[in-house]
Amino acid sequence: MEIKPLAFESLGVRSQATFIETKDVRILVDPAVSLAPRRYGLPPHQREVDRLTELAKVITEKAREADIIIVTHYHYDHHDPGFIIPKDIYKNKKVFIKDPKENINMSQKRVRAPRFLNSIHGLPESIETAEGKEIQIGSTKIIFSQAVPHGADERLGYVVQVAIKDGDQTVLITSDIEGAPKDQHLEFTLKVKPNVIIIDGPLSYLLGYALKQEDLDNSIKNLERVVKEGAETMIVDHHVLRDLNYKAVLSNVYEVARSVNAKVITAAEFLNTEPLILEARRRELFKEENKPARIPRNLAQLLTAGGQ
């Protein structure tokens, strides 16, 4: 099995886009990429937009190789109705989506999910809701969880987790569970027993605002439990990499991992590169060079033309 993170915070953008290839099938999870519209009161820096453009191209290219595309929920760093990533990536694909009607908050149910489904109408070979399903393709099994809360606050909606098994190897992509503050977040992990888990860390950069200390403590405890339960490699990224102090936040998890000979790393480190943290360094970027930027309005069209 080949596991390739395509776009994550440690690669310079907001995303969890991941490409997985087994001998039977090629799967792309959450083909989307975005930036924080404001951070520290500042808009995106030109370096962030340049990186987003670069990684949007990578996602688009890998999407065209994929047999299956999975959308775990309807936040714009996980799905795209054609704003940045071309809609045509869904053409002739088998698509599995978070149920757009059940266990979903109002903004996703009334606006985002319908807009997305309308945007790709007629393109995929098939579209199915994912929750609770198991798909067998040759020796590869794709297993979807039931919907679980997007972190501690259910008002943010629900997500679907996905596990991909190929022989003795299992990779689990948790989607946005914000470091697993609830025991409910771990039920699927304990069931599928992954060798590799790709998990978003807690929203530590919003501690005291969108994150309670109790939920942060629970997240760290549950991340430690995942390592103790046998995950050999834990890729912790996404939300927690919006915090420049993420290593301090995860210090206990690193310590537990060392004690059981496991690895806790970022997506960038999994790819053997240094983390490229841009959003959390936005103040520094503007001090170095005052270059506010906007995402090109025609980016999706340019990427579509590039694929023809």
pLDDT in tens, 187-200: 999 999 999 999 99
Domains in the chain (CATH in brackets) are 2-295 (3.60.15.10)
Average pLDDT over residues 302-308: 66
Asked if pLDDT for residue 16 goes beyond 80, the answer is yes
Q: Give burial (CB, 10 Å; 0-12/13-18/19+) of 216.
A: buried
- Residue 235 has what pLDDT? 98
More confident residue, 305 or 36: 36
- Residue 302 has what pLDDT? 81
Question: How big is the chain, counted in residues?
Answer: 308
pTM for this predicted structure:
0.96
Contact 198, 16 (CB under 8 A): yes
Condensed to tens digits (0 to 9), the pLDDT of residues 222-277 reads 999 999 999 999 999 999 999 999 999 999 999 999 999 999 999 999 999 999 99
Q: Count other Cβ atoms within 10 Å, centred on residue 148.
A: 24
Condensed to tens digits (0 to 9), the pLDDT of residues 119-159 reads 999 999 999 999 999 999 999 999 999 999 999 988 889 99
pLDDT level of residue 305 (50, 70, 90 thresholds):
low
| Centroid of chain to Cα 17 | 5
Asked if pLDDT for residue 306 goes beyond 60, the answer is no
Average pLDDT over residues 39-44: 96
| Centroid of chain to Cα 267 | 11
Residues of the chain above pLDDT 90, percent: 93
Asked if pLDDT for residue 201 goes beyond 90, the answer is yes
pLDDT level of residue 308 (50, 70, 90 thresholds):
very low
Helices (H), the chain: 46-65, 106-107, 113-119, 187-192, 213-228, 246-249, 251-259, 267-270, 282-288, 299-306
Helices (H), 71-199: 106-107, 113-119, 187-192
The mean of the pLDDT values for the chain is 96
Nearest to 55 by CA among 14, 87, 93: 14
